[in-house]
Structure 1
Amino acid sequence: MTDLSVFNHHRLLLYYKGDISALTLFAQQANGSVCFPKALPALSEALEEDEVESSKITMHPAALVNVINRILRLDTDLLRAEPGFSEQIDAPGGIITVYMARFTVLDPPHKLMSKLDCCLKTLPALRGRPPAEMELLRRAYVKVMES
């Protein structure tokens, strides 16, 4: 199994939250997507809670974080899987489960993200993304603010 193949039906949202200021920033790729390592397919839609398909076999988000660390060549302690966040997206190729990972650094890693051809943005700055991504970001923001 190649590193990218684990992301055929999984994605990660990467975010930073300041412990003191509560500043919340989401990572965005150069192509505009907030999903890593690749964007959601066109025509994807976020499933509502009553539409979610349960599966007996799931990928643990920490395993996905390990793979994204290798793909992006990040230090292994830079990202931590966010417990309790798992959203399903109905996509043309099947269900995609999206998890979140939080940057564990004190200050936003703007320079690092810039080197990866990515950036960190606030939720309002991400307006205009496809509807499935906007709904994911809304749900992620609610989760971050509640924790």
Structure 2
Amino acid sequence: MSSNYRLILYHKHPSSGRTLFLRLHETVCQFDGLSTASRVVESHVGGNQVNDNLSDLLTDAEHRLGMANGTLTIDREFNAVIDDADTPIQIYLARFTTIDPPQEHLAEHAGKFIALTEARRLLPTELELLRLAYSIIMDD
């Protein structure tokens, strides 16, 4: 995955609507996280904001997580740009397509699914991104 892209990965239960975000190595911005100097400079929510073909990005993420192809899908209504030490980083939102979150599998990779209320210790930029993402997810 290019260092100029990050994915926020989430699972929304199809029946209950419970939404959990994947925190991996103390970040929800996979796979390289963000610096403390990062800040949101642009965000797009609603509509079809993602025009790129991101299949390679998803395939790489699935491979890194040891998941099957098709386990992740891009949420096309969310896109943000972060300024991280004068480097623009594109942030995309991707959903796990499984019925239940693959908690046990990702625990083997030091991953944990967290609710929005458990995100308080994340960087302020990550909290802002989760707030924006959550607004899209709940409209779904």
Instruction: Indicate the residue corresponding to 2:5 in structure 1.
Output: 10
Find 1:24's aligned residue among 9, 19, 22: 19
Q: Structure 1 residue 66: deviation in Å? A: 1.1
Q: Structure 1 residue 63: deviation in Å? A: 2.3
Query: What is the distance in 1 between the residues matched to 2:19 and 2:13?
Result: 7
1:143 corresponds to 2:130: no
Find 1:41's aligned residue among 35, 56, 65: 35
Identity %: 30
Question: 1:44·1:132 contact (CA, 8 Å) conserved in 2?
Answer: yes
Which sits farther off after the overlay, 8-17 or 89-98?
A: 89-98
Query: What is the distance in 2 between the residues matched to 1:48 and 1:42?
Result: 17
Q: How does 1:104-143 map to 2 (within 5 A)?
A: 104-143=97-136
Give the letter aligned to residue 9 of structure 1. Answer: N
Q: Structure 1 residue 49: deviation in Å? A: 4.8
Task: Write the deviation string for residues 40-81 of structure 1: whole angstroms up to 9, x where unpaired.
Answer: 12300011459xxxxxxx853332111111222210021111
Please report the TM-score for the alignment, with normalisation by the length of structure 2. 0.88
RMSD: 1.7
Q: 1:142 to 1:71 in 2, by over 3 A?
A: same
Q: How many residues align?
A: 134
Please report the TM-score for the alignment, with normalisation by the length of structure 1. 0.84
Q: Structure 1 residue 93: deviation in Å? A: 4.3
Q: Which is richer in helix?
A: 1
Question: 1:61·1:99 contact (CA, 8 Å) conserved in 2?
Answer: no
Q: 1:98 to 1:49 in 2, by over 3 A?
A: closer
SS across alignment from 2:136: helix
Q: Structure 1 residue 10: deviation in Å? A: 0.5
Instruction: Indicate the residue corresponding to 1:53 in structure 2.
Output: none
Question: 2:65·2:106 contact (CA, 8 Å) conserved in 1?
Answer: no
Structure 2 unaligned runs (5+)? 45-50
Query: What is the distance in 2 between the residues matched to 1:80 and 1:33?
Result: 20
Query: What is the distance in 2 between the residues matched to 1:146 and 1:63?
Result: 27
